[in-house]
Structure 1
Amino acid sequence: MTQVDDILNPLTRQRLMPPGSWDWHIPTPFSQGWRVGDTIFVGGQLSADEHGNVVGEGDIEVQTRNVFDAVTRVLEEGGATWSDVVKLNTYYCCNETGDAVREFWEKMTRVRLEYLPTPGPAGTAVRVAGLMYEGFLIEVEAIAVVGSGKFLAP
């Protein structure tokens, strides 16, 4: 495509692969994210180093911060910020019961709130039995619309 084609086609796609992002341990065609027009789709981010190894094993606060930093890098690569995020899906592994589940969720959420503006995006949090490999406690995906950080009050 030429630059003229890019301007004329509002649905131009841009693959988002920020430097320093984690990668799969085998070659795959997956992407960290895509920008399509003004919409950014951030693929599931894990608490992993560049080689896909778990960072912060057993520590939901470390993993949550690492995951949200990874989402931030993908958003920035596409020209967006957390204010542009309109949908946030969080998947987390907690094998605890009772008060321990609440404490786990509260630790995770305190870190998430460091990144989210007010009002925040539509959100979903799903407790799952497991993620890609043992040791991963949280995975987050997001959808952002570039420039949508300004909103009309209801």
Structure 2
Amino acid sequence: MATSDVFNHNVPAESDFGYAQAIRSGELIHVSGQLSLDEAGDFLHPDDFAAQLGLTYANFDKILSHYGATRAQIVSQTLYVVNLRQNAGAVAAGNLAYFGDHRPVSTVVGVTELTFPGQVVEISCVIDTRLPA
């Protein structure tokens, strides 16, 4: 696969764990779990659900921009949430704020922990570039 089909944020975790942030397969773009990492790959906002969710979706926007795609082309997302019952309202509010009137399919999974101490959310998605932007 050509390197232009792969997107990375160029953070250490990509080489440390051996994965791509996103990869194009035909008209679909598969996006790895995004979280609240900054440009240097540092995890930000431990235990702050709203701040983590905002930065996570901002990282989605970088991927969308790279591929010339929009939020309206996200067809599915999977959210992994620590303390799901406690954070369910914030999940819903963040989702509505990010997607507006667009409605991708969505699965929310409650988990006991994620990679970083204080990490409370991680989101992966699939983008279909055949859809209208």
TM range (shorter): 0.7 to 0.9
- The letter of the residue matching 1:139 is E
Q: Percent identical across equivalent pairs?
A: 23
Residue of structure 1 equivalent to 2:120: 137
Structure with bigger gyration radius: 1
Distance 1:132 1:110 in 2: 24
Q: Distance in 2 between matches of 1:25 and 1:120?
A: 30
RMSD of the alignment, in Å? Answer: 2.5
Please state how far the C-alpha of 1:27 moved relative to its aligned partner.
3.0
Could you tell me which amino acid in structure 2 is paired with residue 77 of structure 1? H
Task: State the 1:118 CA deviation.
Answer: 2.3
Task: Tell me, yes or no, if the aligned pair for 2:14 and 2:21 is still in contact at 8 Å.
Answer: no
- Decide whether aligned partners of structure 1 residues 52 and 110 sit closer, same or farther in structure 2, where only a CA change above 3 A counts: same
Question: Residues 83-133 of structure 1, C-alpha deviation per residue, up to 9 Å, x if partnerless?
Answer: 0011110001118xxxxx34x221232122111142410100001011112
Query: What TM-score, normalized to structure 2?
Result: 0.86
What TM-score do you get using the length of structure 1 for normalisation?
A: 0.75
Superposed CA offset, 1:19-62 (max 9, x none): xx644186343111011221111110111223433211121000
- 1:75 corresponds to 2:75: no
Alignment match, 1:148:
131
Number of paired residues? 133
Listed as ranges, the matches of 1:2-151 within 5 Å are 14-18=5-9, 22-24=11-13, 27-94=16-83, 101-102=85-86, 104-149=87-132
User: Structure 2 regions of 5+ residues with no counterpart?
Assistant: none
Unaligned runs of 5+ in 1: 7-11, 96-100
Q: Is contact 2:73-2:129 (8 Å) kept?
A: yes
Give the partner amino acid of 2:94. V
CA distance in 2, matches of 1:136, 1:22: 17
Structure with greater proportional helix content:
2
